[in-house]
């Protein structure tokens, strides 16, 4: 992200693994819930039926074969490149106001992807080594160590989607970049969700899903 707003580069990569735990369910077909995949490019395993215009079904080309049992199998990958800021799940603003040799730095976050629950959000802002920031918000969880001011927020979700704090610290407007953001979340940013798992006779197989989002790199420059 650019400090004055806008997206310089965005890349999302996803993959879907299947694990069949019951040999009786190995010949299963999965169907994805309908979603807007306009910005999403899918890549399928060559042994699977190619997605067409209709519902996205994950099924082996050869009906007489089944999924391996008790073994993870990667069946689908996807990627999304966009210049559309609204795909960024959490926007973070770092706004330094220089004041003598110091700056008053206003920091704010806002959850854009309201269907996600972000855990352990860490906003990591460079500061001069040894600088002692004075923080306005007494309840904020923060540390100042090894040249970084780190603000940690345990949970960001639709019930608590935004927050802000201010700190005063040595440094000019350029000191506080690049800021790094990290978090973990459950859910899918691209909107990939398995809606059903059906056996050859059309009956539903029991299905559970685990969806994990991790941040490889999120930088505000
Ligand atoms: C389908 O799989 C079966 C069992 O592995 C195999 O015998 C058969 O040759 C396969 N058919 C095709 C068209 O590949």
| Domains of the chain with CATH codes | 10-84+189-209 (no CATH), 90-186 (2.60.40.1170)
Atom 6 of ligand 1: nearest residue by CA position: 64
Query: What are 129's two structure tokens?
Result: 């080594």
pLDDT of residue 207: 96
* Inter-residue contact 221 to 177 (CB < 8 Å): yes
What is the CA(62)–ligand 1 centre distance, in A? 6
Q: Does 65 contact ligand 1 (Cβ within 6 A)? A: yes
What distance in angstroms lies between residue 66's CA and the mean position of ligand 1's atoms?
A: 11
* CB distance 179 to 126 below 8 Å: yes
| Separation CA 191–CA 175 (nearest Å) | 37
Give the pLDDT of residue 86. 85
pLDDT score at 59: 95
Nearest CA-CA partner of 215 in 102, 112, 90:
90
Residue ranges of the chain with per-residue pLDDT less than 50 = none
Rounded CA separation 198/28 (Å): 5
49 CA → ligand 1 middle, Å: 15
Closest CA to 43 of 192, 186, 184, 200: 192
Token digits for 101? 């040799």
Question: Distance from the CA of 209 to the center of ligand 1, in angstroms?
Answer: 29
CA 48 – ligand 1 centroid, Å: 13
Question: What is d(CA 194, CA 20) in angstroms, rounded to the nearest whole number?
Answer: 14
Angstrom distance (rounded) from CA 98 to CA 153: 26
pLDDT at 70: 96
**61 Cβ below 6 A of ligand 1:** no
Of 26, 46, 64, which is best to mutate to test ligand 1, by the most ligand atoms within 8 angstroms of its C-beta? 64
The C-alpha atoms of residue 130 and residue 127 are separated, in whole angstroms, by: 8
Residue with the smallest CA separation from ligand 1 atom 14 is 62
- Nearest Cα neighbor of 156 from 115, 98, 195 is 115
Residue of 26, 27, 60, 62 best suited for mutating to test ligand 1, as the one with most atoms within 8 Å of CB: 62
CA of 15 to the centre of ligand 1 (A): 26
SS3 24: helix
Q: Which of 110, 106, 103 is nearest to 94 (CA)?
A: 106
Q: What is the pLDDT of residue 53?
A: 87
Pocket flag, ligand 1, residue 81 (CB < 6 Å): no
Q: CA-to-CA distance for 113 and 91, rounded, in angstroms?
A: 10
Q: Ligand 1 atom 5: the closest Cα is on which residue?
A: 65
Q: Nearest 10 degrees: CA dihedral of 42, 47, 53, 55?
A: -90
């Amino acid at each position: 992200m650019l400090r004055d707003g806008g997206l310089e580069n965005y890349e999302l990569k996803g993959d879907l693994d299947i694990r069949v735990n019951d040999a009786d369910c190995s010949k299963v077909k999965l169907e994805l819930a309908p979603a807007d995949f306009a910005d999403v490019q899918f890549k399928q395993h060559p042994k699977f039926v190619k997605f067409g215009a209709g519902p996205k079904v994950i099924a082996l080309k050869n009906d007489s074969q089944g999924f391996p049992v008790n073994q993870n199998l990667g069946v689908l990958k996807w990627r999304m490149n966009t210049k559309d800021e609204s795909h960024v799940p959490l926007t973070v603003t770092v706004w330094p106001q220089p004041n003598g040799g110091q700056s008053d730095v206003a920091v704010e976050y806002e959850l854009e992807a309201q269907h996600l629950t972000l855990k352990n959000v860490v906003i990591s802002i460079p500061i001069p080594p040894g600088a002692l920031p004075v923080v306005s918000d007494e309840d904020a969880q923060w540390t100042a160590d090894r040249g970084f001011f780190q603000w940690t927020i345990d949970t960001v979700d639709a019930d608590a989607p935004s927050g802000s704090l201010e700190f005063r610290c040595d440094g000019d407007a350029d000191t506080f970049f690049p800021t790094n953001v990290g978090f973990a979340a459950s859910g899918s940013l691209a909107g990939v969700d398995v809606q059903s798992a059906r056996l050859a006779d059309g009956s539903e197989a029991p299905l559970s899903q685990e969806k994990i989002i991790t941040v490889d790199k999120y930088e505000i420059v």
